[in-house]
C-alpha cells in the first residue's frame, strides 16, 4: 500500500490535489487511462464504480502493482456489510473506500472501524440526502475522514431544467465540517478547478470530462494527455481556502 492518506487534514491541503476516476468497463481500459493520468500528474487514482463492478478487487491489485506509490480510491458505494467490504478492498491495496450516507449509521460506523483497523481513508458520500449540510455534519460525526459531496448522474440528467450542481451547496458544507471535502457531479473543467478556492481541495476528473455515459473515452486518447495535464496543472497551482 502507498503512504497512508487516512489522516489527511484539511490544513494539509495548501494547494489542490487531483483524483482521476477510472470509470471504465474493463481493466485494460482502466490501466490505459491510469497511465495517461499518472503521466499527466494525477495524485490519486480512483477505481470507479463501473470498474469495481466489472473487475472487483482484482482491479485494485493490478493498479497497486503498476502504481505502488499512488493512493488508490475504491468507489464501492457501500450500503451494508461495511466492515467486511472495506476490509476486502483494503487488503487488496486500496487506500480509501466510499460509504454512502444513505446507509444506516451502523454501516458508516463499521466502515470507519475498518478504516482505523486497516489504515485507510473513509469517504462519506452524501448523494441523495435532502439536507446536504446536515448530512455532511452527520458523516463527520460518525467518523468519516472526508465528505464527498455528490449530485448523481441520473438525477442531474432527469432534471436538466434545474441545472443541478454540487457547487450550490459546497460553501455551506465546507463551512459546516472540519474534514476535507470533495465535490463531484457534472462539473466542467473550469468548475472543478474552482473547487479549491471554495475549500474543497481534492478535485476529481473523470466522467463526464474524460469518460462518457457508456463508460468509454469521450476525448480522443491522442488529445487526452495534454488536456488532462493542463487541467491538473491548474489544480496544483490553485490555493485551497482554509
Between CA 229 and CA 178 the distance in angstroms is 30
pLDDT in tens, the chain (242 residues): 456 799 999 999 999 999 999 999 999 999 999 999 999 999 999 999 999 999 999 999 999 999 999 999 999 999 999 999 999 999 999 999 999 999 999 999 999 999 999 999 999 999 999 999 999 999 999 999 999 999 998 898 899 898 889 999 999 999 999 999 999 998 988 999 999 999 999 999 986 555 555 555 566 778 889 999 999 999 999 999 99
What's the rounded Cα separation, in Å, for the pair 181 and 207? 19
Radius of gyration of the chain (CA): 16
The model's pTM: 0.94
Q: Domain boundaries in the chain?
A: 15-237
Per-residue pLDDT at 201: 97
**What is the predicted pLDDT for the residue at 219?**
67
- The correct answer on CATH 3.40.50.620 for the domain covering 15-237 is no
Amino acid at each position: 500500500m502507498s503512504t497512508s492518506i487516512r489522516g489527511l487534514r484539511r490544513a494539509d491541503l495548501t494547494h489542490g490535489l487531483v483524483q482521476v476516476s477510472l470509470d471504465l468497463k474493463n481493466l485494460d481500459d482502466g490501466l490505459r487511462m491510469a497511465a495517461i493520468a499518472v503521466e499527466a500528474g494525477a495524485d490519486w487514482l480512483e477505481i470507479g464504480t463501473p470498474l469495481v463492478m466489472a473487475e472487483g478487487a482484482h482491479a485494485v491489485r493490478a493498479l497497486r502493482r503498476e502504481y505502488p506509490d499512488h493512493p488508490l480510491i475504491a468507489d464501492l458505494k457501500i450500503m451494508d456489510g461495511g466492515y467486511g467490504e472495506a476490509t476486502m478492498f483494503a487488503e487488496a491495496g486500496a487506500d480509501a473506500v466510499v460509504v454512502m450516507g444513505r446507509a444506516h449509521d451502523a454501516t458508516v460506523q463499521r466502515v470507519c472501524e475498518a478504516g482505523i483497523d486497516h489504515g485507510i481513508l473513509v469517504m462519506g458520500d452524501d448523494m441523495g440526502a435532502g439536507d446536504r449540510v446536515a448530512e455532511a455534519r452527520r458523516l463527520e460525526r460518525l467518523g468519516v475522514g472526508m465528505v464527498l459531496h455528490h449530485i448523481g448522474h441520473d438525477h442531474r440528467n432527469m432534471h436538466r431544467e434545474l441545472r443541478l450542481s454540487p457547487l450550490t451547496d459546497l460553501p455551506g458544507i465546507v463551512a459546516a465540517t472540519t474534514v476535507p471535502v470533495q465535490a463531484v457531479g457534472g462539473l466542467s473543467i473550469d468548475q472543478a478547478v474552482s473547487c479549491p478556492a471554495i475549500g474543497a481541495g481534492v478535485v476529481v476528473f473523470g466522467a463526464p470530462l474524460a469518460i462518457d455515459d457508456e463508460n468509454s473515452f469521450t476525448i480522443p486518447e491522442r488529445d487526452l494527455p495534454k488536456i488532462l495535464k493542463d487541467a491538473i496543472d491548474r489544480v496544483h497551482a490553485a490555493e485551497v481556502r482554509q
